[in-house]
Amino acid sequence: MIVKSLAVGPLQANCIIIADEATKKAAIVDPGDEPDRITGTVSDMGLTVDIIVCTHGHFDHMGVVSDIKKETGARVALHTDELAVYKSSQDMAAFWGFSVEAPPEPDILLSEGDTLAVGGLKFSVLHTPGHSPGGICLYADGVVITGDTLFQGSIGRTDFHGGDMEKLKQSFRRLMGLPEDTKVFPGHGPATTIGHEKKWNMFSEEFLK
Total Cβ atoms within 10 A of residue 87: 14
Specify the pLDDT at position 69.
98
Could you say which DSSP state residue 99 is in?
Answer: -
Specify the pLDDT at position 205.
93
Domains and CATH numbers, the chain: 2-207 (3.60.15.10)
Specify the pLDDT at position 209.
82
Total Cβ atoms within 10 A of residue 36: 10
Give the model confidence (pLDDT) of 94-129 as tens digits.
998 999 999 999 999 999 999 999 999 999 999 999
Low-confidence ranges of the chain (pLDDT < 50): none
